[in-house]
Amino acid sequence: MSGAEQATAPGSAATTILPEGRLAAEVEAATGEPVNRCFGCKKCTGGCPVSMHMDLVPHRVIRLIQLGQRETVLNSSTVWICASCRACEARCPNDINIAHVMDYLKGRILAAGGRVAESKVYDFHRSFLNTVGLYGRAHEITMIGMYKMRSRTYFDDLAMGGRMLARGRLPILPEIIRGRGQIRRIFRRAAELARSGRAGGEGTGDRR
């Protein structure tokens, strides 16, 4: 058993979860988000624009954190599907910033070398950040190339890409900003914080 203790009554198939508070305490200490204040009103889930794509809806993630169900939470796709729009925070009567909690959980998964439930989302994040690290801003063609190499989705959406190119929606050459040194310093600082465990720290580097 890990996380919360689980007990099965003799002769019964029902499983009782005995709450264990270490995960909630860890999340609260690392993020400052008061997850233990959540009383399950579900307003976060009601306002989440991508909850239909999640295996665990937002209020369930918070409840499972309260219960100490570490493995279920860290293996869930929700952590990666969350679009960080913060609509849940705006609706939450307890001011819980669930996007912040999700970022922390992503960092925990990566730091532990755990399984990334939505690898394409992670591939996309890294490709975007790599492009910003190179040019100081996003460049779609570079980003798409990196993403396709990582995700091995070479032939997906080729027709749409061709149409966008033909309409001039995908600039061939990147715009390179002048302050790239500052951007690199930001990335270096983020990597240092990630190494020291003071940030979620997805960074721009390859993990695989």
Shortest distance, position 69 Cβ to ligand SF4, whole Å: 16
Any contact of residue 107 with ligand SF4 (CB under 6 A)?
no
Any contact of residue 101 with ligand SF4 (CB under 6 A)?
no
- Ranges within 55-94 binding ligand SF4 (CB under 6 A): 58-59, 62, 82-88, 91-94
Q: Which of 23, 48, 56, 132 binds ligand SF4 (CB under 6 A)?
A: 48
Alpha carbon distance 86, 99 (integer Å): 6
Alpha carbon distance 55, 81 (integer Å): 9
Residue (136 or 200) nearer to ligand SF4, CB: 200
Shortest distance, position 120 Cβ to ligand SF4, whole Å: 17
Residue (3 or 58) nearer to ligand SF4, CB: 58
Alpha carbon distance 14, 135 (integer Å): 56
Give me the residues that bind ligand SF4 (CB under 6 A), please.
38-44, 47-48, 50, 58-59, 62, 82-88, 91-94, 96, 98-99
